[in-house]
Amino acid sequence: MGTAARSRNVPILAALAIAGVLGVAACGTDSAQDSAQGSTQDSAQAEQTPTAVATTGAAADADSDTATEADAGTAENASTSAGKTGTAGGSESGDGLEYLKIEEPFTTPVGECDENGNTQQMTNCFLAQVVETDYQIDTYQKQRFFYAISTKDRENYLKDDAAWLKERGEKVAAAGNSGGSLDSVTQARAMLKLSKARLAEVKG
């Protein structure tokens, strides 16, 4: 090939070389742009994921709080209703006064009963009847207490019961104080007599 031909080819080769370089650069630019776009999208998705999770968690917490508040409200309403209603089976009235059951001055339940046994066994026979009689007294008095019209009436019932118990104790103590072995039997018999009289009174 002559010199002139080589001279003519130089610009062509140079142009091709330049075009190749530009093409490679262009491809590199497109790849970089695609990579950048991909990274941007991945980042956006990564940012959205925690947000969605956080939103879901917040919603769950909100539902849980709502349920808890509802349960608390239900419990409070139930408690309020029970406090307002009241029943004769309870121990406290709506005005806060509490019925006081008879507290026996001896150990219950009592021991073995034998009317022909020793002193303690004979005493136990009377005491067992006292417990039964006093239970009936409590039943009647509790009904009167809870169905009383006013707080004043309930207060009077409590005072009356306390006064009677005090009087019973004094009379029982005076019934058997000889110092003999049969004092306990005498006192137990007296206590039963007084309790039966009280029962007849509250029933009447």
pLDDT digits (tens, 9 = 90+) for 179-194: 898 999 999 999 999 9
Report yes or no: 180 and 187 within 8 Å, Cβ to Cβ.
Answer: no
**CA-based angle 164:94:195, to the nearest 5?**
20
Q: Which two tokens stand for residue 51?
A: 């947000």
Judged by average pLDDT, the poorest of 43-47, 109-113, 151-155 is: 43-47
- Burial level of 25, CB count in 10 A (0-12/13-18/19+)? exposed
Distances (CA, A) of 50 to 42, 54, 96, 109, 118: 13, 6, 56, 69, 86
Q: Could you tell me where the beta strands, DSSP code E, fall in the chain?
A: none
Residues near 165 by Cβ (< 8 Å), separated by ≥ 6?
A: 102
Sign of the CA dihedral 113, 119, 120, 123?
positive
Residue 59 has pLDDT above 60, yes or no: no
User: In 3D, which of 99, 103, 98 has the Cα closest to residue 166?
Assistant: 103
The SS3 assignment for 97 reads coil
**Interval 10-50: pLDDT, tens:** 444 333 333 343 343 333 444 444 444 444 444 444 344 44
Under the banding of pLDDT at 50, 70 and 90, the label for residue 125 is very high
Distances (CA, A) of 79 to 74, 75, 76: 9, 6, 5
DSSP 88: T
Domain boundaries 119-203, CATH class: mainly alpha
Under the banding of pLDDT at 50, 70 and 90, the label for residue 96 is confident
Whether the model clears a pTM of 0.95, i.e. scores above it, the answer is no
- Provide, rounded to the nearest whole percent, the portion of the chain with pLDDT above 70: 54
Sole residue written with tokens 């009174």: 201
**According to the model, what pLDDT value does residue 92 have?**
64
